Structure 1
Amino acid sequence: MYTLSYHYSCDKKTGKNSSHPVTFRMHFTPIHNIIEYGFKEGRIFNLTGSAAALLFALYDRPVFIIELTDERARELCQDINFFRDSLQKDHMLFLPEPDGPSRAGERTEIIASLGPQVSLVCSYRNLGEPIWNPYEIERVSLPLQKGMTISRTAIDAQLKEMGYRHAPLVTERGEFSRRGWLLDIFPSSSDQPLRLEFFGDELESIKTFDTDSQRSDADISGFTLFPAQEPSSGTSLLEFMKGAEFFCSESIAERDRLPAETVFFSHYSMQGSGYEADVLPIRGLGILPEERRSIDDLARSIRTLQKETRVCIIASSRTQALRLNAVLRDSGTLAPVIEQLDIFSYEGAVSITTGALSEGLHLPGFLILTEKELFGGRPAYRPVKKSKVSRLLTSLDDLRPQDFVVHKDHGIGRFLGIVNQNIEGTREDLMVIEYEGGRLYLPLQGIRKITKFHAEEGFSPRIDRLGGRTWQRTKEKAQRKIRDLAEKLINVHAQREVRKGYAFSSDTELHAEFESFFPYEETPDQLKATDEIKRDMESEKPMDRLLCGDVGYGKTEVAMKAAFKAVYDGM
C-alpha cells in the first residue's frame, strides 16, 4: 500500500517551530493519485463523504472552490479547515453571500485579507456579485486610532457614505448614534459595537460596549471600519481569483461564467468521463444505524475493522467523545480520546477526537467516522439569534406614549414620548417621563434604568412624586421582604444539608445509546445542564434545581435524559 508522508518542522501539540520534525504517515493513495493525475482530466467523481475536503486540504496551491449553495460552501470550507488544522496548515477562507450590512463588512474584510497564496470557497451566486476592488477598500474604509484628530461631523458624513444608518440607540451592525461628545458605532464586520469619546476634535478613547446594557467595556487603541453596503459595480470574484486554480461542484448546471480550465468535482459515485477517485463506501461495514440492531453491533463491527483498518471517530463535543469511549471500552475496544492534531500520527487502531466534520471518509486502511454515520443525519446546532437588546429593561419599540414605566431611582411615571433638544450645541434625543411635580428628561443611553409597568388589565398605578420619599420607602419595604424570604430559604437549605436522598447509579452504555437517539446536537447550555443534573442525581444530597430556558431551547431533552436515569434505577 502506498504511504504518503508529510514532514513538518513544528511541535505537533502547539504548532510552533521545533527542532524535532513531525512526520504524518497516511494511507492517502487515492487522494494523492487525484492530485497527481486527476486534475488533468477536468472532472473527478466519487469524492464521497469528506473526500473532497481532504483533497483540497492536502493540495498546497491556491484554489478557488465554487459550490452550489452558500450552505454547502460553508460546510465544505469547515470540513477543509478541519483537515488543515490536523495537518497544521493555514485555513482556507469562506466568503458568504451578500445579506445586508452585517455581511457587507465581513465580506470586505475577507476580500482585504486575500493574498496571492490564499484559497477561497464560496457559492455560485457570489460569481455574479461585485466586490470592492482591493485598491478601493482603503478609500471606502475608515481607520480609527486613539489620539487622532478628526471632526465628528466628518465622521458622520463618511459613515453615511459607507452605508451606515443613524439610529437613536445602536443595537445592530451598520448603525451609529451621536450624542454630544460620544459617538456609538456598530461596525459592519464586528460583533461588538464601539463607543468613541471626543475632546474637541481629538479622539480621546475607543471602547467596546455591551448592546444589552449599553455599558462600556474594554479600551482598544484602534479599529478599521469597513463599509456597511455592497458596491453597485466593481471587480468580480472570477477576475480577482484568476491566479488560483478553479474547482467547481458538478451540481452547478450554469457554467458559462467559468474558465475553460475549471476542474469539476462530484460528491457522488456515478461513473462517467473523468477521473475515478476510488474512495471506498462506508455502507456495508455494519456501521450505519440501519445496518445494526444496537450499539453493541457497532463495537463488534469496529473490532472487526480494526484488524486491517485504522478507525478514527470524530465527536461533536468532549462529552460525546467520552460517551463513545465508555461504550467501546465496555465492549472490549480501546479507543482513547486524542487531540485533533494527532489523528493522522496516532499509531493505535481506534481513536476518538472532537471537531466539526460533516461526514466520514473511507480510504484503504483508514476510516473516519462522524456522528452522521454512527447515529444518522442530525441537524447541526445553530445558535438562535437573540435580540440585540434582549437584556435591556426595555427598548423604544416596547413603549408607547401614555404607558406607565418604572425608573430605578425615581419610581412609577408616565412615558410621554421622545423629544429632540439642543444640549451644549448638540441635538440629542431624550425620553420624557412625567411624574407628580415635574418631568424627567432621560438620554437614550439611560434606558437600562427603565422597565415597563406590568399589572392586571385596567389597573392604573399611582404616579410617584419626582424627588419624593414614596418610592424610596417602597424599595425599602421590598428589601425587607426579600431579607425575610432569604432567611426562610436559608432554613430550608440547612435542613436539606442534613438529610440524605437516593443516589442514582452512574451512566451505562444503555444511557449513552438512549442519548444518541436525540436528533439535534446539544447546545453548550444543554450539555452543562445535563451534566449538573446527573451529578446531583448521583449524589446523596437531595436535588434542588430549576431548569429554565426559552421556548425551543431543548428543556424537554434534558428532562427526558434525567427521567431515563430515574426509570433505569426503578424510581
Structure 2
Amino acid sequence: MSENEQRIEARHATLQSVAEGFAAHRHLEVHGLTNPVAARLLAELLKTAERTIAVLVADQKEAAKLAADLSFFHNPDEIVILPHWEVGPYDPLSPHPEVEAERVATLAALHAGSARVVVVPVRSLLQRVMPRPVLDQLAFHLVVEEEYPRQDLKNRLLGLGYQPVPMVEDRGTFSLRGDILDIYPAASRQPLRFDLFGDYIEQIRPFAVDSQRTGEESLAEVLLLPAREMVLAGEHLDYFLQKLQERCDDLDMTRTRREEILDEFREALPAPGREFLLPLNYPQLSTLFDYLPEAGWAVIDPPAIEQAMDRFAAEIREGEQRISNSAEPYVAADQLFLDPGSATEQLDKGRRIDITRLQLYHLEADWPLYRVEALPNSDFHCSAKELRQGLDRLVEQIETWRTEDWRILFACHQPGQAERLQEMLSAHGLELPLVPDRRLADIPRGEALVCVGELSAGFRLPDEKIALFSDEDIFGTRARRRTRRQKRRTLLPSLSELKENDFIVHTDHGVGRYRGLQHLQTGSTEGDYLLIEYAGDDKLYLPIDRIERVQKYVGADGHVPKLDKMGGTAWEKAKFKARAAVEELARDLLKIQAKRKMNKGHSFPHPGADFREFEATFPYEETTDQLAAIEDVQEDLQSEKPMDRLVCGDVGYGKTEVAIRAAYRVALEGKQVALLVPTTILARQHWTTFRARFAGTAVEVDMLSRLRSPAEQKAVMEKLEAGKIDIIIGTHRLLQRDVRFRDLGLIVID
C-alpha cells in the first residue's frame, strides 16, 4: 500500500456490516472478537454465503470449542470438524479408529457439499488426505429390497477398512450373525441393523449402542464410506504393495526385512504407525484445498495460527529425522504434509477474513479493517458470598437495557440450571420466560428470556444492543465430567469381560466353563457362538446375540465352582433355594417398609431462592444420573413419608453433592444433619469438602472423631446439643450415648 493510499477502517462495526464486507472484499480483518463472538459472526456470514466456509484454528481443543459455540447460533447438522490424527508425525502409533472414521465422514460431507462450515485445526490443514476421486469411487449405497451376495458384501466391508467384531459398538466396525448384519458406518451417528432374508435386505434400522435395541425408525438406503483413509483391498492393496516394495528397496532394506513388512499388509496386520505410509496407497494424495476449491476462509487469531504451523513443521522435521535412523519404512515429509508457506499461499488465493482480539499491523495491508466493540460479561460474575448482591446488580442492569430496547438472552447448559436461574431471578424481582429452544434472533427488542444451549461464554454488543449470557458468566466455570458410555442392561455387558476358561453362569443351564468364541455355519445360517462346556463333556453353543443369557461367575477368591450338568436337577434346586431366600428377604423388607409407611415424617417445604443460589454455585456440571438422584432425594424430603433411599455411583461421580444439597435443605429448616462414615480419614475428607462447599452460608459444619482431642470433642458435643452445629460428620463415635442432638432431621451413611 502506497503512502498516498489510506486503509479502509470501520469503527463500531456491527456483525452484519462485517458480513456485507466479507461479500464485497476478498480479504478483510476484524478485531475485538472472542471465540463466542466469532461464532456469532460466522453464523451471520452463513446467512448470505453461497459456498462452504472453512474456519482455521490453532488446535483441536479450539476447534471443538468453536464448533460447539457455532452450534448455538447455527444448525449443528451443517457443522463438521476435520480432526487430526492425534499422534506425532512418524510416531509408531496409530490414530484411533473413531478419529479416522470422523475424518472420512467430514471429507465426504465436503465432497457432497452438505457441510456449510468445516472447522480445521492447523495440523489437519497441513496433512494431505485421501484423493477426492477415490472417495467418490469407493462410496456405495445399500438399498432396502435389493440383493447383495453376502460374501461379496462382507469382503467389500473388509476392503473399506471395517473391522469384524462380535458386537458393534464403535464406528468402522461390523458384525454378521445369521440374518442380522450390524454396521456402524463412518458417516453415521448411530449403528445400523440390516435384517436380511438370504442376500435380500428386508429392513434397515438404527439401534442403540448401550442396549443393542432397534428403534421404530426405518431407513430406505444407507451410504457406506471407507472407515479409514488407507484402503488395503483390491487394486489399492496391489498398488500399495508395489510402491511399498519399491520404497523398501530405495531405503536399502534387506530382503528379509522387506518381506516381513509386506507380510504385515498381506495378512491385514500392519504394525502401529503404518498409516504414515498413506502416500504409497494412491498415485497422489489430495489436500483440503482440493475439497474446498471455492470456499471462504475464516482465520481465527492469525499469530496463533502461524505459531502452530511452525511448531508442527518442526515436529515433522524431527519425526522424519528420527524414523530415517530406524529400520522402518517411511515416506518423505513433503509427500504427506504441506509446508506452512504453501498452505499460507493457498489461503491467500481465496476469500479470507482474519478474526482477532487485537489489531494486527501489516506493512503492506490494503484490506479493510473492521473494529467491533464486544464486551465480556466478567463484570457480572459473582462469588458464592456475593451472589445475592450480584444478582441484584444484574437485575437492575437488565431493567435498564430493556428500556433501551436491548435484546437479552440467558443460555444455560442444562434444563435444570435454566429453571434454577429463572427462579433465582424471579426471587430478585425479574420474571423471565423460559423458552428452551429460543435463539437470539427470535427475541423482540426490549425483551429478555432464558433458553437451554451450549455456549462457552456470553458477550455484549453495545452497538447492536445485544446481551448474551451463559450461566457460567454469572456462576463461574463449571467443570464438565467425561460421561461414560452407558453399560448395556444385560447380565454380561461385553465379551471383553470374558477370558477363555472363565467360569460362566447360564440362566437355564447353570455353571459352565467358557471355551472361547466359535464361528459356525449350519446350513444357510452362519454366525459367532460362545462355546460353554458343562459336566460330562456336555457342550452348549450360544449365539452371540443371546449373550444376555449368561454372566461371569462371581465367587470367593480361590473358590473353584462345580460344573453343572446340562439337563440335570442340581441347577434347578440351587435356583429354587436362592428364590426361596430372596422371597424371605423380600418379606422382611416389606414388613419394615410397612412399618415405615405407618409413621409420619417431616415434610420440608419447596426449595426457595437460598437453595437455588446454593445449587448454582456447584463448580461442576451435573451428570444426568446425578440430577435424577438429586431430584429424587429432594422429592423424598418434601414427602411426609420418612426417607429411606440408597444412592449408588462410581467414585468421583457426584454422590457427595447429592448429600450436600439434601443436608443444606434440612439445615435451612433449622434441623440437624449427621453424616456417618467408617473411617477417621474419610471423616476429615468430608469435613474439608463440606466446609468448602458451605463457605459463604450460615451453615455450621463440624467433625467428631478420635482425631479430635477430648476437650474438642466435649465442646463439639455441647454445641451439637445446643443446636449450634447444623451438620456433624463423624465415625461410629456419633452412635455413642453421650452424643445428643437438639433436632436431628437427616442421617446420611457413607
TM-score band (shorter)? 0.7 to 0.9
Range with bigger deviation, 337-346 or 322-331: 337-346
Please say if 1:54 is aligned against 2:40.
yes
Could you tell me which residue of structure 2 aligns to residue 223 of structure 1? 222
Could you tell me which residue of structure 2 aligns to residue 33 of structure 1? 17
Could you tell me which residue of structure 2 aligns to residue 432 of structure 1? 531
Write the distance in 2 (CA, Å) between the matches of 1:130 and 1:399. Answer: 41
Write the distance in 2 (CA, Å) between the matches of 1:176 and 1:41. Answer: 47
Write the distance in 2 (CA, Å) between the matches of 1:346 and 1:361. Answer: 18
Please say if 1:42 is aligned against 2:28.
yes
> Which residues of structure 2 form unaligned runs of 5+?
1-11, 86-94, 231-277, 310-339, 363-367, 672-750
Please point out which of 313, 332, 352 is paired with 2:410.
313
| 2:587 aligned counterpart, secondary structure | helix
What is the deviation of 1:532? 2.2
Write the distance in 1 (CA, Å) between the matches of 2:202 and 2:397. Answer: 68
What is the deviation of 1:287? 0.6
RMSD across aligned C-alpha pairs, in angstroms?
3.2
Please point out which of 498, 504, 509 is paired with 1:405.
504
What is the deviation of 1:47? 0.5
Of Structure 1 and Structure 2, the greater helix share is in: 2
Cα gap change, 1:270 to 1:490, in 2 (>3 Å): farther
Could you tell me which residue of structure 2 aligns to residue 20 of structure 1? none
Could you tell me which residue of structure 1 aligns to residue 371 of structure 2? 277
Could you tell me which residue of structure 2 aligns to residue 160 of structure 1? 158
What is the deviation of 1:376? 2.0
Cα gap change, 1:205 to 1:36, in 2 (>3 Å): closer
CA contact (8 A) 1:119 1:244 kept: no
Cα gap change, 1:323 to 1:217, in 2 (>3 Å): closer
Write the distance in 1 (CA, Å) between the matches of 2:524 and 2:390. Answer: 77
Write the distance in 1 (CA, Å) between the matches of 2:433 and 2:599. Answer: 39
Write the distance in 1 (CA, Å) between the matches of 2:494 and 2:481. Answer: 29
Could you tell me which residue of structure 2 aligns to residue 4 of structure 1? none
What is the deviation of 1:163? 0.3
What is the deviation of 1:516? 2.2
Amino acid at match of 1:278: V
Cα gap change, 1:209 to 1:73, in 2 (>3 Å): closer
CA contact (8 A) 1:315 1:321 kept: yes
Write the distance in 2 (CA, Å) between the matches of 1:217 and 1:342. Answer: 30
Amino acid at match of 1:108: V
| 2:56 aligned counterpart, secondary structure | strand
Amino acid at match of 2:388: I
Please say if 1:372 is aligned against 2:472.
yes
CA contact (8 A) 2:604 2:637 kept: yes
What is the deviation of 1:104? 3.7
Please point out which of 392, 407, 411 is paired with 1:299.
392
What is the deviation of 1:440? 2.1
CA contact (8 A) 1:394 1:450 kept: no
Residues 377-420 of structure 1: per-residue CA shift (max 9 Å, x gap): 23345422456x68451644433343322111101122333455
Write the distance in 2 (CA, Å) between the matches of 1:468 and 1:206. Answer: 42
What is the deviation of 1:140? 1.5
Of Structure 1 and Structure 2, the greater strand share is in: 1
Could you tell me which residue of structure 1 aligns to residue 664 of structure 2? 564
Please say if 1:521 is aligned against 2:621.
yes
Write the distance in 1 (CA, Å) between the matches of 2:115 and 2:529. Answer: 52
Give the paired residue count: 539
Could you tell me which residue of structure 1 aligns to residue 97 of structure 2? 101
Could you tell me which residue of structure 2 aligns to residue 236 of structure 1? 287
Write the distance in 2 (CA, Å) between the matches of 1:367 and 1:73. Answer: 24
> Which residues of structure 1 form unaligned runs of 5+?
1-27
What is the deviation of 1:294? 2.7
CA contact (8 A) 1:181 1:198 kept: yes
TM-score by length of 2: 0.65
Write the distance in 2 (CA, Å) between the matches of 1:200 and 1:297. Answer: 68
CA contact (8 A) 1:334 1:350 kept: no
Matches within 5 A, 1:145-544: 145-209=143-207, 220-231=219-230, 232=278, 234-249=285-300, 250=302, 251-253=304-306, 254=309, 256=341, 257-258=343-344, 259-260=347-348, 261=350, 263=352, 265-269=354-358, 272=361, 275-282=369-376, 286-289=379-382, 293-308=386-401, 310=406, 311-341=408-438, 343-344=440-441, 345-364=443-462, 365-385=465-485, 391=490, 393=492, 395-424=494-523, 429-437=528-536, 438-544=538-644
Residues 172-207 of structure 1: per-residue CA shift (max 9 Å, x gap): 332233445544433333354444454443334445
What is the deviation of 1:158? 0.7
Could you tell me which residue of structure 1 aligns to residue 275 of structure 2? none
Higher-Rg structure is 2
CA contact (8 A) 1:34 1:277 kept: no
Write the distance in 2 (CA, Å) between the matches of 1:40 and 1:190. Answer: 36
What is the deviation of 1:69? 1.7
Identity of aligned residues (%): 30
Write the distance in 2 (CA, Å) between the matches of 1:46 and 1:295. Answer: 31
CA contact (8 A) 2:420 2:616 kept: no
CA contact (8 A) 2:37 2:374 kept: no
Amino acid at match of 1:167: V
What is the deviation of 1:144? 1.7
TM-score by length of 1: 0.84
